[in-house]
Amino acid sequence: MNTKPVAVNRRASFDYFITERFDAGIALTGTEVKSIREGRVSLNEAFVKNLSEGQVYVIGMHVSPYSHSQNPSSVDPARTRKLLLHKSEIVKLTGMIRQKGVTCIPLSIYFKNGRAKIQIGVGEAKKQHDKRESIKKKMDDRQIRQALKRKAG
Protein backbone atom coordinates (compact mmCIF):
# COMPACT_ATOMS: atom_id res chain seq x y z
CA MET A 1 0.00 0.00 0.00
CA ASN A 2 1.92 3.01 -1.33
CA THR A 3 0.54 6.42 -0.34
CA LYS A 4 3.28 8.75 -1.60
CA PRO A 5 1.74 12.10 -2.59
CA VAL A 6 1.53 12.84 -6.31
CA ALA A 7 0.89 16.55 -5.78
CA VAL A 8 1.10 18.73 -2.67
CA ASN A 9 -0.33 22.20 -2.03
CA ARG A 10 2.68 23.81 -0.33
CA ARG A 11 1.00 27.18 0.15
CA ALA A 12 -1.72 25.62 2.31
CA SER A 13 0.35 25.28 5.48
CA PHE A 14 1.85 28.73 4.94
CA ASP A 15 -1.47 30.53 4.39
CA TYR A 16 -3.76 28.58 6.76
CA PHE A 17 -3.91 27.09 10.26
CA ILE A 18 -5.13 23.58 9.37
CA THR A 19 -7.31 22.26 12.21
CA GLU A 20 -8.90 19.17 10.68
CA ARG A 21 -8.04 16.84 7.79
CA PHE A 22 -10.25 14.55 5.71
CA ASP A 23 -9.38 11.95 3.06
CA ALA A 24 -11.79 11.71 0.15
CA GLY A 25 -12.07 9.99 -3.20
CA ILE A 26 -12.42 12.03 -6.39
CA ALA A 27 -14.81 11.38 -9.29
CA LEU A 28 -12.45 11.37 -12.31
CA THR A 29 -12.41 10.18 -15.91
CA GLY A 30 -9.90 7.54 -17.06
CA THR A 31 -7.58 9.98 -18.81
CA GLU A 32 -7.58 12.26 -15.75
CA VAL A 33 -6.39 9.37 -13.56
CA LYS A 34 -3.57 8.62 -16.01
CA SER A 35 -2.60 12.28 -16.09
CA ILE A 36 -2.56 12.47 -12.28
CA ARG A 37 -0.33 9.37 -12.19
CA GLU A 38 2.10 11.31 -14.41
CA GLY A 39 2.00 14.14 -11.84
CA ARG A 40 0.34 16.61 -14.18
CA VAL A 41 -1.99 18.11 -11.58
CA SER A 42 -1.97 21.45 -9.75
CA LEU A 43 -3.69 22.27 -6.44
CA ASN A 44 -2.40 25.84 -6.12
CA GLU A 45 -5.66 27.70 -6.85
CA ALA A 46 -8.05 24.96 -5.72
CA PHE A 47 -10.61 25.09 -2.92
CA VAL A 48 -13.45 22.90 -1.67
CA LYS A 49 -17.07 24.04 -1.61
CA ASN A 50 -20.52 22.65 -0.85
CA LEU A 51 -22.40 23.54 -4.06
CA SER A 52 -25.51 21.43 -3.55
CA GLU A 53 -26.99 19.86 -0.43
CA GLY A 54 -25.17 16.64 0.43
CA GLN A 55 -22.45 17.11 -2.22
CA VAL A 56 -18.93 18.51 -1.86
CA TYR A 57 -16.82 19.60 -4.84
CA VAL A 58 -13.24 20.65 -5.47
CA ILE A 59 -13.05 23.76 -7.66
CA GLY A 60 -10.00 25.09 -9.49
CA MET A 61 -7.93 21.88 -9.45
CA HIS A 62 -6.11 21.78 -12.79
CA VAL A 63 -5.49 18.36 -14.34
CA SER A 64 -3.58 18.65 -17.62
CA PRO A 65 -4.75 16.47 -20.52
CA TYR A 66 -3.15 13.04 -20.71
CA SER A 67 -0.10 13.13 -22.99
CA HIS A 68 -0.89 9.88 -24.89
CA SER A 69 -4.63 10.45 -25.30
CA GLN A 70 -6.27 9.92 -28.69
CA ASN A 71 -8.64 12.85 -28.06
CA PRO A 72 -6.67 15.40 -25.98
CA SER A 73 -9.46 18.01 -25.70
CA SER A 74 -12.13 15.61 -24.39
CA VAL A 75 -12.18 16.90 -20.76
CA ASP A 76 -11.94 20.45 -19.39
CA PRO A 77 -8.72 20.63 -17.30
CA ALA A 78 -10.21 22.96 -14.66
CA ARG A 79 -13.67 21.40 -14.34
CA THR A 80 -15.43 21.04 -10.99
CA ARG A 81 -14.89 17.55 -9.56
CA LYS A 82 -17.09 15.77 -7.03
CA LEU A 83 -15.51 14.51 -3.81
CA LEU A 84 -16.56 11.11 -2.51
CA LEU A 85 -17.15 11.22 1.25
CA HIS A 86 -19.42 9.45 3.72
CA LYS A 87 -22.63 11.30 4.59
CA SER A 88 -21.49 11.91 8.18
CA GLU A 89 -18.20 13.41 6.93
CA ILE A 90 -20.10 15.68 4.51
CA VAL A 91 -22.37 16.92 7.30
CA LYS A 92 -19.39 17.58 9.58
CA LEU A 93 -17.43 19.29 6.79
CA THR A 94 -20.28 21.56 5.66
CA GLY A 95 -20.95 22.56 9.27
CA MET A 96 -17.32 23.59 9.65
CA ILE A 97 -17.22 25.47 6.33
CA ARG A 98 -20.33 27.52 7.22
CA GLN A 99 -18.52 29.12 10.18
CA LYS A 100 -17.20 32.59 9.52
CA GLY A 101 -13.52 32.73 8.60
CA VAL A 102 -13.18 28.97 8.04
CA THR A 103 -12.23 27.59 4.65
CA CYS A 104 -11.55 24.19 3.14
CA ILE A 105 -8.65 23.57 0.78
CA PRO A 106 -7.02 20.52 -0.82
CA LEU A 107 -3.67 19.60 0.74
CA SER A 108 -2.44 16.71 -1.41
CA ILE A 109 -3.38 14.05 -3.95
CA TYR A 110 -2.17 10.47 -3.59
CA PHE A 111 -3.00 6.95 -4.70
CA LYS A 112 -4.18 4.33 -2.23
CA ASN A 113 -4.83 0.79 -3.48
CA GLY A 114 -4.85 2.10 -7.06
CA ARG A 115 -7.48 4.76 -6.42
CA ALA A 116 -6.89 8.52 -6.47
CA LYS A 117 -7.50 10.16 -3.10
CA ILE A 118 -7.35 13.78 -2.03
CA GLN A 119 -6.55 15.05 1.44
CA ILE A 120 -8.50 18.19 2.30
CA GLY A 121 -7.93 20.46 5.25
CA VAL A 122 -10.25 22.77 7.15
CA GLY A 123 -8.72 25.84 8.71
CA GLU A 124 -8.55 29.57 9.19
CA ALA A 125 -6.45 31.98 7.16
CA LYS A 126 -3.28 33.25 8.80
CA LYS A 127 -2.81 36.96 9.29
CA GLN A 128 0.34 38.67 8.02
CA HIS A 129 2.01 38.65 11.46
CA ASP A 130 1.31 34.91 11.80
CA LYS A 131 3.07 34.29 8.48
CA ARG A 132 6.08 36.30 9.70
CA GLU A 133 6.22 34.18 12.87
CA SER A 134 6.12 31.00 10.77
CA ILE A 135 9.02 32.22 8.63
CA LYS A 136 11.02 33.25 11.72
CA LYS A 137 10.44 29.88 13.42
CA LYS A 138 11.44 28.01 10.25
CA MET A 139 14.66 30.05 9.96
CA ASP A 140 15.50 29.52 13.65
CA ASP A 141 15.00 25.76 13.32
CA ARG A 142 17.23 25.73 10.24
CA GLN A 143 20.00 27.63 12.07
CA ILE A 144 19.80 25.21 15.02
CA ARG A 145 20.07 22.20 12.68
CA GLN A 146 23.06 23.75 10.91
CA ALA A 147 24.81 24.51 14.22
CA LEU A 148 24.25 20.95 15.46
CA LYS A 149 25.51 19.58 12.15
CA ARG A 150 28.70 21.67 12.37
CA LYS A 151 29.25 20.63 15.97
CA ALA A 152 28.72 16.91 15.24
CA GLY A 153 30.86 16.92 12.10
**Each residue of 4-62: pLDDT tens digit?**
889 898 888 888 889 999 999 999 888 888 889 888 899 988 989 887 778 999 999 99
**pTM of the entire predicted model:** 0.77
Q: Does domain 5-126 have CATH number 2.40.280.10?
A: yes
pLDDT tens for 80-111 read 899 999 999 998 988 888 888 888 999 999 99
Domain coordinates in residue numbering, the chain: 5-126
The torsion of the CA quartet 82, 85, 87, 89, rounded to 10 degrees, works out to -120
Count the neighbouring beta carbons within 10 Å of the beta carbon of residue 38.
12
